[in-house]
Amino acid sequence: MTERTSGLLCVAETPRATAPVVRVVTWRVTQPVIWMVLMAATLFAFGCGSDSQHSPSSAKYPTGISGEVEQQLKYDARVDSYDLSSDTLTVNVNDAWLNSPPGMQERSVGQWYTLWHSSHSGGVVVQHDGNKVASWTSDGGYKPETKSKGDESHTES
């Protein structure tokens, strides 16, 4: 009798038989496969399950200052200084703000503008080393300043 395997079923051929005889794979072979599938499904269920706590999407400031622009600017590590004396809020930022992604820059200026504009009619001007880098006004929204070719080639020593 000669035997060969084909997939999960073992096929036995006998020289006298005209049709092959099919034997079902034994439990000893299927048990580890079933065990691995169940373990993978369990790990998938635990790994992909949702968390009941949602992560916060906005910056966390100390209690009681979330609605005050002056206090937010005071506690923001990306802000070097700010000027509240005129109708337009001027914020001097450091390299951390300047090197942050454009979306984060827009979001922070938008938040400052929202809080500032609630009690003032002016906009927000963002400066870095005395140069205007972005602004937010009621008619134009967020506008980052574009660098000229002369500014890009300028290197500091």
- The Cα 66–Cα 83 span in angstroms is 19
Query: Per-residue pLDDT tens for 95-138?
Result: 999 999 999 999 999 988 988 888 888 899 999 998 999 999 88
Contact 100, 109 (CB under 8 A): no
Residue 86, helix vs strand vs coil? coil
- Comparison of pLDDT for 124 and 153, the residue scoring more: 124
pLDDT at 20: 59
CA-to-CA separations, 34 to 28, 31, 37, 41, 115, in angstroms, rounded? 11, 5, 5, 11, 59
pLDDT at 155: 46
- The Cα 61–Cα 75 span in angstroms is 7
pLDDT at 134: 93
Domain ranges of the chain: 2-43, 69-145
pTM exceeding the 0.75 threshold for the entire prediction: no
Q: Which pair of tokens denotes residue 129?
A: 């080393």
| pLDDT > 90? residue 24 | no
- Comparison of pLDDT for 111 and 146, the residue scoring more: 111
Query: Per-residue pLDDT tens for 55-78?
Result: 555 555 555 555 688 888 888 889
